Amino acid sequence: MKFKIILLTFSFFTFFANAQNEFDALRYSQQNMFGTAKATSLGGAFGALGGDFSCLSYNPAGIGMYQFTEITFSPSFTLNNTTSYNNKIILLDDITYNEKFDENISNGSIGNFGFIFSNPKDNNNWKRINFGIGANQLANYDKNIYINTLNNTSSLADNLLSVAQGNTINELDVFFGSPAFWTDIIDLQNNSVDTSLNQYLFDNGNYISHVMSNGLKRQTHQFNSNGDMHEFVLSLGTSFEEKLYLGATIGIPTFEYSEVINHREDIFSDTINNLGSFEYMQNLYANGEGLNLKLGGIYRLNDNIKIGGALHTPTVFNIQEEFRTITQANFTDTSYREYSPINYFEYELTTPWKAIASVSANIDNRILLSADYEIIDYSTSKLRANNLRNDDGTEIFYNENNNIESNYGKTENIRLGVEYKMDTYSFRAGYIRNSSPLLENEEILSENFSFGTGVNYGSYYFDLAYILSQRSDNYQMYNSEFINSTDLVYTNHNVVITLGLRY
């Protein structure tokens, strides 16, 4: 076992390469469909409609259509399901093993709340100047992933070994290599100790693993994330001759995100040094606040058709993160547990520009059709860290930004909505198709199907929406050099209720 005589040095630059990365940039740049029940039931296709508080986060020109002061409040309830499909693994007796597991997580939140103040003007051309203030939910990060598989080709210990290889004990990073060494998951190839000199005789960066890669083992992997993003909005809009509507929104998005990973390996067919099981745990907490500007316009071609366009500037986020790892190994006669230091780090993320083109049609004042076309180029996202630099002189996020440019591309998203009005009642449906930002996985798409109804009594209204979201993805338990990814299917159910008051 270990003869712990070395004082560890903190090698935070290894952590930087493994923590804040292109996946974080993508996570905080993407948005889901939230807001009022009316907007979500129409698939978020509100770029040319207006008259709904959600438009402040889509096309702020819609605020110019308000002719009454309005207060709106939208609680939402979410059930997220994740199904994992293990890749087929050839066992020692040539039998294939394949399982799927379902994990659910549910919560309630505030989809939106807002206040619109309509200010009519005694002007034949410019009819009014309207103000809006409130918040819309932009993203939900709640997710559970569970993987339970048999593996006779690799181990997480192989990944930890590769990170440690070539580094002396003092040079091991404190989040991966060092905890793996001090819990005896990996060891020096020759761990002879000179007690008189208080040092290892062969501390030369050559390590071995105490887990047999080709030995049969059970791997249990649990991933849990929680959090959401809300955007505080402050908007101004106006109407020119009831034909041209213009608006602008200052958006202040804030988010919280937490992530817990627990990887366990046990039931070994063969190990070195009587290792019974080991666990690797990783905890991440992040929060951030940003600033952006949204500009929009809507033009009424005639009594039935409107067109709209909006441009969203990049959001500049200031992000704070805390990260630590915990490693434990259980042997026949003893156990070892190592806690890494808690690393606190601040950095900046600039998200992509966004452009939206929209059209809507009103048929006989009963049927309403709407469509949005959205373009986002995720390859323009940028990570920055106050000019910190790596040992080789490059900026701290040089590799991550290169990965963003190389792996991400332009997405073209489509939102469609239809509404049928019958006296005070409305029935709605919507569809969203989001293309993948990953150049190598263009087939990975997300689709949302939404349905809803509403009752409008003039001075107050009630809307209800149900949204079904589906998308496929894959998950990497550890480095793809050692293991194939696991296929995932996300199925999310969301119910939104909106209560509104006009006066």
In the beta sheet, which residues pair with residue 335? 330
Cα 378 to Cα 394: distance, rounded to the nearest angstrom: 23
Decide if 451 is inside a domain: yes
Decide if 108 is inside a domain: yes
Parallel, antiparallel, or unpaired for β 275-300 and 193-194?
unpaired
Structural domain boundaries enclosing 384 = 12-502
Indicate the pLDDT class of residue 192, thresholds 50, 70 and 90. Answer: confident
Q: What is the pLDDT of residue 436?
A: 86
Residue type, 176: F
Tell me the three state secondary structure of residue 139. strand
Q: Over the stretch 452-500, which tens digit does the pLDDT of each residue have?
A: 999 999 899 999 999 999 888 888 999 989 998 888 999 999 999 999 9
Average pLDDT over residues 214-226: 92
CA 85 to centroid of chain Cα atoms: 21
Q: What is the pLDDT of residue 96?
A: 52
Distance set, CA 182 to CA 199, 243, 383 (Å): 14, 71, 33
Q: What is the pLDDT of residue 86?
A: 74
Average pLDDT over residues 244-261: 96
Specify the long-range contacts of residues 329-334, CB closer than 8 Å, at least 24 apart.
329/183, 329/184, 329/185, 329/210, 329/275, 329/277, 329/278, 329/279, 330/275, 330/276, 330/277, 330/278, 331/1, 331/184, 331/273, 331/274, 331/275, 331/276, 332/274, 332/276, 333/274, 334/1
Does position 16 have pLDDT exceeding 50, yes or no? Answer: no
**pTM here?**
0.86
> DSSP of 261-320, one letter per residue?
EEEEEE--SSBSTTEEEEEEEEEEEEEEEEEEEEEEEEEE-SSSEEEEEEEEPPPEEEEE
> DSSP of 414-476, one letter per residue?
EEEEEEEEETTEEEEEEEEEE--SBGGGTT--EEEEEEEEEEE-SSEEEEEEEEEEEEEEEE-
Decide if 2 is inside a domain: no
Residue 454's nearest CA partner among 34, 37, 33 is 37
Decide if 407 is inside a domain: yes
Helix (H) or strand (E) holding 396: none
- Residue 195 in contact with residue 219, Cβ under 8 Å? no
Does position 325 have pLDDT exceeding 50, yes or no? Answer: yes
Decide if 303 is inside a domain: yes
- Residue 283 in contact with residue 324, Cβ under 8 Å? yes
CATH of the domain at 320: 2.40.160.60
Cα 152 to Cα 212: distance, rounded to the nearest angstrom: 9
Indicate the pLDDT class of residue 197, thresholds 50, 70 and 90. Answer: low
Angle between helix 22-29 and helix 398-407 axes, rounded to 10 deg: 60
- The number of CA neighbours under 13 Å toward the Cβ of 209 is 21
Average pLDDT over residues 421-437: 92
Decide if 352 is inside a domain: yes
Tell me the three state secondary structure of residue 15. helix
Decide if 4 is inside a domain: no
Does position 317 have pLDDT exceeding 60, yes or no? Answer: yes
Q: What is the pLDDT of residue 94?
A: 52
Exposed/middle/buried for residue 255 (C-beta within 10 Å: 0-12, 13-18, 19+): buried
Q: Over the stretch 17-70, which tens digit does the pLDDT of each residue have?
A: 345 678 888 899 988 767 899 999 999 998 999 889 999 999 999 999 999 999
CA 267 to centroid of chain Cα atoms: 34
Does position 220 have pLDDT exceeding 90, yes or no? Answer: yes
Indicate the pLDDT class of residue 427, thresholds 50, 70 and 90. Answer: very high
- Percent of the chain clearing pLDDT 70 (strictly above): 90
Q: Over the stretch 110-120, which tens digit does the pLDDT of each residue have?
A: 888 999 999 88
Exposed/middle/buried for residue 365 (C-beta within 10 Å: 0-12, 13-18, 19+): exposed
Average pLDDT over residues 331-346: 93
> DSSP of 42-75, one letter per residue?
TTT--TTT--SGGGGGT-GGGGGG--S-EEEEEE
Parallel, antiparallel, or unpaired for β 316-331 and 410-422?
unpaired
Q: What is the pLDDT of residue 3?
A: 43
- Percent of the chain clearing pLDDT 90 (strictly above): 64
Mean pLDDT, the chain, integer: 88
Hey, CA dihedral for 12, 17, 23, 28, is it positive or negative?
positive
Does position 1 have pLDDT exceeding 70, yes or no? Answer: no
Average pLDDT over residues 233-262: 95
Q: How many domains does the chain have?
A: 1
Decide if 7 is inside a domain: no
- Residue 434 in contact with residue 413, Cβ under 8 Å? yes
Residue type, 56: L
